[in-house]
Amino acid sequence: MTDLFGNPNIKINKTHSNKKGAIYDNRNKINDLTGAEWLYWTKTVISKSYPSNMQHKLRSQHGGQKPPQLCADLIKIFTKKGQLVLDPLAGVGGTLLGAALCDRKAIGIELNPKWANIYKQVCNLEHLEEYPFIVGDANDKLKYILPNSIDFVLTDVPYWIMDQVTKTRSSATRVSNLSKFNEKNLQTKEEWLREMKDIFVKVAKTLKKNGYMAVFIGDMYRGKEYHFLAGELAKTISEINEFTLKSDIIWHDDSKTLHIYGYPFAYIPSVIHQHILIFRKEE
Ligand SMILES: C[S@@+](CC[C@H](N)C(=O)[O-])C[C@H]1O[C@@H](n2cnc3c(N)ncnc32)[C@H](O)[C@@H]1O
């Protein structure tokens, strides 16, 4: 007999059951993890290696794809089997593939039909259940997701396409919209944050009360400066009434290569981590 964390000599009472030799607390409304698994996943650094598998070559045409196993690990922290996960910025479907790996349901929204098509191909090749994948702008398509219907949101924001000429552009000539953004036109950081906020305001409506949301975001070194985008995005999303920031998990992406851009004259970091911001919908 073991306790929640695998230590011997504790009585199992009516709130606990034995799950393949480990202890599961029947009061757990968040996930299906045992006590020991729960403790493991409270870590704020993920250093586990994720293999380049599941049609990695096909998916890597995207460039921002996330390992489906990492997505599955995150989904297992915040959902129970059979629950529904939403990714409003789905890319080639890392979240949806991850959901299929751990027997959850999922819905994706993605602007670019090319990525939707790759997601379909991967499902076929990997014999995985294909989930609804809506092609279009999340700003518009989120209205088709029922309010308070989603158990967990796992998403990954598009990169800020940095505007190097911000200081010379007058606000009168500043034009930003998502189609421009996706043609890789430049935008200011403020425009990027505003566009992200517009989407997360709509995402908040779809999430169940007390549901969690995890958002991947990488910091950037650009224009001779380090941009702490995770901090800025965390602040922006926290301004939305429903969302409270709960954690910042650092994922060490060991697939990233080091670079020597500054050597031997200046220090320029090799950014080999991403942030996973955790929010909870609390009203
Ligand atoms: C960082 S990628 C997501 C990658 C994804 N996690 C994966 O594993 O493939 C962000 C995606 O958001 C999409 N996107 C950007 N703006 C969008 C919008 N307004 N509505 C829907 N998708 C959008 C981009 O086309 C891009 O594929």
Residue 79, judged by CB atoms within 10 A of its CB (0-12, 13-18, 19+), counts as: buried
* Pick from 27-41, 125-139, 171-185: least confident: 171-185
- Is residue 3 scored above 80 in pLDDT? no
Nearest-CA residue for ligand 1 atom 26 is 91
Looking at the DSSP bridge assignments, the partners of residue 135 are: 110
Which residue ranges make up each domain of the chain?
1-39, 41-281
Which of 60, 89, 139, 154 is the best mutation target for the ligand 1 pocket, counting ligand atoms within 8 Å of the beta carbon and taking the most? Answer: 89
Span 216-237, average pLDDT:
96
| DSSP-derived 3-state class of residue 62 | coil
Q: Give the domain 41-281 fold.
A: Rossmann fold (3.40.50)
**Is the pLDDT score of 113 beyond 90?**
yes
Confidence of residue 18 (pLDDT cuts 50, 70, 90): confident
Stretch (H or E) spanning 141: helix 138-141
Distance 91 CA to ligand 1 centre (A): 4
**Neighbour-count burial of 24, counting CB atoms closer than 10 A to its CB (0-12 exposed, 13-18 middle, 19+ buried):** buried
As a whole number of angstroms, the distance between CA 167 and CA 80 comes to 48
First to last CA, the chain: 40
Q: Which of 112-116, 164-168, 234-238, 265-269 has the lowest mean pLDDT?
A: 164-168
Where is pLDDT greater, at 16 or 189?
189
Residue 168: the pLDDT is 39
Q: Which atom of ligand 1 is nearest to the CA of 94?
A: 8
Q: Is the pLDDT of residue 182 over 70?
A: no
Structure tokens at 15: 């709130």
243 three-state secondary structure: strand
Task: Quote the pTM value.
Answer: 0.90
Q: How far apart are CA 247 and CA 276, in angstroms?
A: 8
Q: Is the pLDDT of residue 235 over 80?
A: yes
pLDDT at 171: 39
Alpha carbon 265 to its chain centroid, in Å, reads 36
Which H or E element spans position 77? helix 68-78
Residue 210's SS3 state is strand
CA angle (239, 215, 142) in 5-degree steps = 75
Question: What is the pLDDT averaged over residues 98-104?
Answer: 98
Report the candidate in 241, 232, 240 with the shortest Cα–Cα distance to residue 277.
Answer: 232
Identify the residue with better confidence: 186 or 185.
Answer: 186
DSSP assignment letter at 200: H
AA identity, residue 220? M
Q: Report whether the peptide linkage leading into residue 264 is cis, meaning its omega lies within 30 degrees of zero.
A: yes
**Distance from the CA of 26 to the center of ligand 1, in angstroms?**
37
Residues 6+ apart with CB under 8 A from 277: 214, 215, 217, 230, 233, 234, 237, 245, 247, 248
Nearest CA to ligand 1 atom 10: 158
- pLDDT at residue 17 in the model: 77
Hunting for tokens 């996960």 — which residue is that?
85
pLDDT band at 5 (very low <50, low <70, confident <90, very high): low
- Choosing from 69, 86, 111 the residue with most ligand 1 atoms within 8 A of its CB, the one to mutate for a pocket test is 111
**What is the rounded CA–CA span in Å between residue 95 and residue 101?**
10
